[in-house]
Structure 1
């Protein structure tokens, strides 16, 4: 049976979710997000779900997933069962991709990161300014949008690796309306205007990954009936892409709350490679869940 994309009709209680990836140990930044989700669910009489975002089959491991459960249990997180694992729902993401392909919005892309980097560098050496996304990465070149079906088929037959990308201009033209989302977080609040074009032609699927974060997270939030997405400010601008995908696939739009980030000594957001901020390391030092709350300020 095909999973439902839409949230359950008549659902009254707010639904929150914490969605870590098992590609490293949880740190203080994850603790802030998990605790905020738990506190907001409790305050509103809502439900709290846990989703394991393990579409990266190379870096995500069962051992790190078990470590997530261990850390969250120690923090006292009251998550519902069963836990959703993205690796168990690849057909659902493929169904969404197929729907977008049927709408003529998806095309195969073959340039490697190295090829894009070389092209951008050459262009900028000549004095040009290559457009970049909100994270500072150069936008993907767009000439592959116009390949004929025969040219695409020939390239697909030869290419060992490729991706499917969303034609952002065509997608926005199909929607033909102003997209917004409701924001209640630590940055701009109220009705926020989405700007999906700022990201260019985003990846939806790679030959070495059965989905992209954008597609999987958007589909999962709808499938789980999530009404409130609470996550870090580093994902604030990515919401523009998610709103576009929601509009294209006919999915509901949650309320978003993008919270402040916990920064390291260098002023950057915490990384899973910084072991001294890992919850397991702090537990080994004798810290308690109350200490963690104090450290993250909730």
Structure 2
């Protein structure tokens, strides 16, 4: 095996291990933030939603700068620095007793994410050959799904909580909840690898980090609006005795997204058909 092939092989294993640790750490903490601060401490869900939206906006919205820095100084120092900042943000969440401190911890975590996320994605583009990227992204998505379940269960155990205390729309039993979670992640496993593969194929080899950071802007604005809006809808649904309100809105947004994607790809098929000779 040549040195280049050996480096690629070791890089793949590093990315898989790194991704599993990152996903586990994330899902141990973030899904249970609302339980900690809303259910246990009695904060308004809007305050927690703003904190989560701030983290999403900072991590994804500033990703283009994190990617540019990684292109300039290399991926390794940015990944290490970002991981340390995220760890500091998580530790600060544990002692947060006021909304501003939770916001600061989410901001710190977001800064860490914006430093390590684009370089990690750029490493995938660099180390994985184009014809293998779809399969590798599928493996990463499967890791994400497994890590999300294991991390959330571990975090629930650490908080001495159970899933039965988390109302999910019209779901009334754990069996229904698990079925919906499985359906959700099956959709993610199907869609995410295709999206990441498409983004990787469009990235400029001279500025992979910058491109992968810029591609996260949609997640930045959508995530910030979704988290804050979801918190407001949760409070409104609680006041109106309609706990399913945020989940109904989520379904509406998902259906609109489905229609938009169908329209977009149908337009591309029509355009390619018109360009074919003899069509």
Q: Is the helix fraction higher in 1 or 2? A: 2
Compute the TM-score of the two structures, normalised by the length of structure 2: 0.25
TM-score (norm 1): 0.24
Q: Give the structure, 1 or 2, with the largest relative contact order (CA under 8 Å, sep 6 or more).
A: 2
- Greater strand share, structure number: 1
